[in-house]
Amino acid sequence: MEIVLRNKITEALRVLYNSEVPADLIQIQKTRKEFRGDFTLVVFPLLSYSNNTPENTGAGIGNYLKNHLPDVSGYNVIKGFLNIEISGRWWVEYFASLAREKDLFAKCKTDRPETILVEYSSPNTNKPLHLGHIRNNLLGFSLYRILSSRGHRVIKTNIVNDRGIHICKSMLAWQKFSGGESPESSGMKGDHLVGKYYVMFDQEYRKQVEKLISGGMNETEARNSAPLMAEAREMLVKWENGDSEVVGLWKMMNSWVYSGFDETYKMLGVDFDKIYYESETYLIGKEIVLDGLKRNVLYRKDDNSVWVDLNGQGLDHKLLLRSDGTAVYMTQDLGTAVARQEDFQFDKTIYVVGNEQNYHFQVLRALMKKMGYAWADGLIHFSYGMVELPEGKMKSREGTVVDADDLIMEMKETARSVSEELGKLSEYNDEEKEDIFMKIGLGALKYFILKVDPLKNMTFNPAESIDFNGNTGPFIQYTYARIRSVFRKAEQSGVVPDPGAIISAEPGSKEIDLVKLLRRYSEIVVEAAETYTPALIANYCYELAKEFNQFYHDFSILGEENPSLRNFRLMLSEVTSRVLFSGMWLLGIDMPERM
């Protein structure tokens, strides 16, 4: 319809004002909710051709459209905006075509598909996944599905931070304090067990620092001189030098953590096409750094450390290799980017990483361009805000994080109590109930996180997220289940909806409003892909579910006596359920058939 309107408006300007107007001056938008109309023409850019007031120009074009385009049923002019109303008959015909579409993403496809890597999760092997990781994983996985729906080739990648001083901290603490404890002997998930010793390191380290301070040292000296930290640094050097005992310990503890991670990823419903390990890619990074040193792109300080000067790029000097030859995060990210380009020849890599790393990724892109990698412009930092609890921030080393596994099970149990209170699952066996409880609990968790603009910090409130009313996942899931219930009843009554009979219906304004909202779905998906904003899809699903529930409350579907209108309402319900299912699938949320 936008194309038809644009062509007819061009014709109107030619006829009314004897003018050929550039296409970019004909600006058509969706009409704002507070005004009557479906499409709005911005009149101001056309005044130099009409030599008239905005009101008269808008009225002239509107009158021409009404007289020469049967699908235009009316118009109104508000200052410099022409609001165009499209006839109900056109909307019925549009809905008939929509109901026949098998692929809801057909209109979303780009004509310039790209190879895009999406990196998410990026865990450290010294602790289990926590609430912050959940937001990261959910955003990354949803981006993968949204971008794939546009026709891009999308590869899900993960970089596991499995080396460094923080990993040595948990290894050293286990070596000193565990007595050989293992996941089997303790009954703990491997990632939880390793995380326990990371916290223990910090506790013991703090005691040593406090003792040194009480002995007369200042805090900085005490932190640098604490024996435990010195041992951790020594262990890191041994690891990088291939010490067999240290490497053996590292492999054992990492295997525990990977097993634990896999369980959490499976519960969350996320996965990866390719996993990279910092213990491998940092070596590639070191080689690249040493080559840059030879080419005088980088420089070495007197203490033997290697740096890059990015003052010319408006940044700073950045350390790439420490004086003892060990690598830093930037070196690893350099190596990982090069390895990925060799593996996939990507157009873009999207790093799903919190906003505290904004500067890091500015430096990475500038460094790689300075090193001669022209494709570095395709490195995109998807920066998102932090997630907190009502009681404040979380700290891994102090053991005050919200564990991902615990949170998922808490959400499932909350879903259980709410569902049992509603009493709608009595006909299900225990296994079926458990599946529904998990879908509701995870749906609540995922939706609550994804409905927030990624750029914003957010506070996660488990109790608020599980509400079956309001802007929540369970509300949308319940709407979908309600529609499926209508179709089960229709089947029992022998009523079979007929897409071919839609065209004969004469629906009212409420039904047409739902059709208009359904039409926006492909536009929302495209916008979400272009702006990397899953929240657009989440909030669209809520708006659609809310509108359908209002329609369901006000009108009978199966009880409608007019067969043509009953069929239209059934088809409207069916397409709504398909769109809700599709939109929530893009968010990684499962939709139960019954609730």
pLDDT of 361 reads 96
Q: What is the pLDDT of residue 401?
A: 67
Hey, which CATH number is domain 404-586, 1.10.730.10, 3.40.50.1000, 3.30.70.1140, 1.10.3720.10?
Answer: 1.10.730.10
Residues, the chain: 595
Tell me phi and psi for residue 81, to 5 degrees: -130, 125
Q: What's the pLDDT band for 468 if we cut at 50, 70, 90?
A: confident
| Residue 396, pLDDT score | 42
β-bridge partners, 387: 458
Over residues 210-231, mean pLDDT = 94
Tens digits of residue pLDDT in 283-309:
999 999 999 999 999 999 999 999 999
For tokens 């435990």, the residue is 228
- pLDDT category, 427, cuts 50, 70, 90? confident
Please check the confidence at residue 578 and state whether its pLDDT lies above 50. Answer: yes
* Mean pLDDT along residues 315-329: 91
Binned at pLDDT 50, 70 and 90, residue 395 comes out as very low
Radius of gyration of the chain (CA): 30
Of residues 323, 332, 340, 341, the one with CA closest to residue 364: 332
Domain ranges of the chain: 2-86, 163-352+360-372, 404-586
Give the fold, CATH level 3, of 163-352+360-372: Rossmann fold (3.40.50)
Q: Where residue 460 falls among pLDDT bands split at 50, 70, 90?
A: confident
**pLDDT at 465 (0 to 100):** 83
Least confident of 33-42, 201-210, 419-428, 455-464: 419-428
Please choose, from the candidates 90, 100, 172, the residue with its C-alpha nearest in 3D space to the C-alpha of residue 498.
Answer: 100
Residue 12 has pLDDT above 50, yes or no: yes
A 10 A CB-CB count for 510 gives 14
> What is the pairing mode between strands 306-309 and 299-300?
antiparallel
Taking CA atoms, 159 is separated from 63, 280, 353, 414, in Å, by: 60, 10, 11, 33
Q: What is the pLDDT of residue 394?
A: 42
Judge whether 472 and 580 are in contact, CB under 8 Å.
no
For 302, 398, 541, the CA distances from 194, given in Å and listed in that order, are 38, 14, 40
197 contacts 183 by C-beta, under 8 angstroms: no
| The pLDDT value given to residue 14 | 95
The model's pLDDT over 428-451, given as tens digits with 9 standing for 90+, comes to 888 989 999 999 999 999 999 999
Question: Which range among 358-372, 386-400, 550-564 shows the weakest confidence by mean pLDDT?
Answer: 386-400
Sequence-separated (6 or more) residues with CB below 8 Å from residue 462:
407, 410, 411, 414, 444, 445
pLDDT score of 270 more than 60: yes
pTM: 0.90
Task: Please state which CATH number belongs to domain 2-86.
Answer: 3.30.1360.70
